[in-house]
Structure formats: structure tokens, C-alpha cells
Amino acid sequence: MTTFDFGFGPVPAHQHPNGGGWVADTARVDDSAYIGPAARVFGNARVYGDAQVYGNAQVYGNARVYGDAQVYGNAQVYGNAWVCGDAQVYGNATIAKSSDYLLIGPIGSRADFMTWTRSDNCIATGCFRGTIEEFLAAVRETHGDNEHAKAYRAAMNFIRAMEKLA
């Protein structure tokens, strides 16, 4: 049995065939994913699809990284966090499940995900980043009152309800 120390003592692990990074036997990583030689995936984490984890990045806990997402540099993704689509987490970034973030999707004409952050009351999706009011103005201009506009307004109503619970 091969073991590797992810910082908490040796655990059963193996080197990923696509990149050579260490993966704990408790984690699941698709063969199609890339785990670079210095990257680590452990705990109950899952990395699948064409996702890439490289540099000194770590994915652990119950985190999920999938689609074409990339986690690299010294970034850490953990807890119940999900990184997906074309998202990139890099540098010294840390992404964890937190009551500060709410991810909604797929939604809208691009079937994309939107993120609301409580700490700065910001909506981010696609190329848009701004306040709820700015987002709703952009939705009115782009979608009028079509089905996508209705879905976006419903999401904003949900977010406003979440604000009141804080």
C-alpha cells in the first residue's frame, strides 16, 4: 500500500496518472482531470471532467472541482465549495463553503452560474459584476421581460430574502 502525508500524517494515496499529483484514496479524481505534480487532492474531494489542479494547489474536504475549472498557484478549495464551468481559482485564493457566498444556476440565456457575495452585496455572472440594482438594470436592458429576465428577478428576490435572514 502506498501512503502520502498531506500534512496530517500518512494516508493511503496514489499519484494521479494525468500529471502525477498526489490523490488520497478517499478522494475521487477522473482520469480525464489533470492533477499537476505538486498539487494535492484529499479528504472526500472530487475532481472530474476536464478540470485542472496544478501548481501547489490543494482541493480537500468535500470540495468539488469540475467542468473546465482550474485551481492553481497556492490556491485552496475546501469544505463544501464547488468550482465549476470555466472558473479559475489561483494565486493565494481560498474558496470554502461560507454563508458569505450563494451560487445559483444554471440560469439565464447562457445557462451560467451567478454568485452573490453577502459581504459586498455583489452579483457576478459571465462578464457582469455589480450590485443587485445594477444587475437588474442590465437584465431589463438585455432581456426586457422575457423568461430569462423573470428567472433573474426570481433569483434576486431569493437573494434579498437571504439578506434579511442574516
Question: What pLDDT, on a 0 to 100 scale, did the predictor assign at position 149?
Answer: 93
Could you tell me what percent of the chain has a pLDDT over 70?
93
pTM above 0.75, yes or no: no
| Whether 81 and 110 share a structural domain | no
Per the structure, the count of domains in the chain is: 2
| Whether 155 and 105 share a structural domain | yes
Question: What pLDDT, on a 0 to 100 scale, did the predictor assign at position 86?
Answer: 76
- Domain of residue 29: give its range: 3-96
**pLDDT tens track for 110-130:** 888 888 877 778 888 877 888
Which residues in the chain come in under a pLDDT of 50?
A: none
Q: Which residues contact 79 (CB under 8 A, 6 or more apart)?
A: 61, 62, 63, 96, 97, 98
Cis peptide leading into 106, omega within 30 of 0?
A: yes
